[in-house]
Amino acid sequence: MTPEDALREIRNREDQTTEAALGPVPRWYLVSVALLLCVVSAVPDYVSRSLPYQAAGIALLLILSVISNRSRRARLRRSRYTNKSALLVLSMMGAMITVFIGLYVVASLADLPYPSTISAVAMALTWALMTPWLNRAMKATLRRER
Amino acid sequence: MEEGFDEFLHVPARLSIVALLAPAEWVEFRFLRETIGTSDSALSKQITALENAGYVAVRKERSGAARRTLVRLTDHGHEAFAAHAAALERIVRTARQRP
């Protein structure tokens, strides 16, 4: 194997591992997390003491995340993630929080019924729409910065 | 021979395995087998050779009802692989600079 072929082989193989570790997010995970986000954020509209329900929802979210991680065929080293990849995650979280708070404020000011539910649904949709984007962007960033 | 060049790692089957392991904390044995397109026994043979050289570590874990085998590169393996890749880069760069 020539040195050039070896380097090409190394890059291709590294890409395959990145693809396996950050492969498409399973649909069941996208839907379950979106539903749980809705429930956790919308519950104050329906129950006066919402904290226990929200705690249970967050615990379920953590369990789902563990199950999803375990179903992966490879896990990337932490050192592979750069500041740029952290920025991508933060920007998605920022978008979700902005959508939730923004819509909640608007719905409350407009005196709409169920302001938490409206903003929770919008936040869950933001999650479902942005997660595939985050995945693609993360892979592209890791490929560029290796 | 270029400094850092590792003849043991340069064997195509081993280089493929180590390159797949390099960016990962761990990978599944099954993933290695399917990605490289080899048999269980051929892959086991290479993994054992790499394990004996101290380049990889293998552990088994229970995942629900099934068991899975996870493979990772050791610190020594990472160092050897990084040195080997750097040596390859230097060789290619030198070859390109030659008139």
Cα(B24)–Cα(B57) distance, integer angstroms:
13
Q: Token pair of B79, please? A: 């160092």
Q: Where are the domains of chain A?
A: 3-144
Residues of A in contact with B29 (CB under 8 A): none
Q: What does the mean pLDDT of chain A come to?
A: 91
With pLDDT > 90 as the criterion, what percentage of chain B qualifies?
Answer: 82
The total domain count for chain B is 1
Q: What is the pLDDT of residue B99?
A: 66
Cβ contact B31–A74 (<8 Å): yes
B53-77 per-position pLDDT tens digit: 999 999 998 866 778 899 999 999 9
Domain range holding B24?
A: 12-97
Of B19, B31, B63, which has the smallest distance from its Cβ to A14's Cβ? Answer: B19
Residue B2 resides in a domain: no
d(CA A5, CA B93): 14
Contacts of A16 (CB under 8 A, 6+ apart): B20, B35
Residues of A in contact with B20 (CB under 8 A): 13-14, 16-17
Q: How far apart are CA A31 and CA B1, in angstroms?
A: 55
CATH of the domain at B76: 1.10.10.10
Percent of chain A with pLDDT over 70: 100
Q: Is residue B7 part of a domain?
A: no
A70/B contact by beta carbon, under 8 A: yes
Task: Please indicate, yes or no, if residue B92 is contained in any of the structural domains.
Answer: yes
DSSP state of A112: -
Closest-CA residue to B36 (of A24, A74, A9, A71): A9
Residue B4 lies in a domain: no
Q: Tens of pLDDT along A52-108?
A: 888 999 999 999 888 887 778 899 998 888 889 899 999 999 999 999 999 999 999
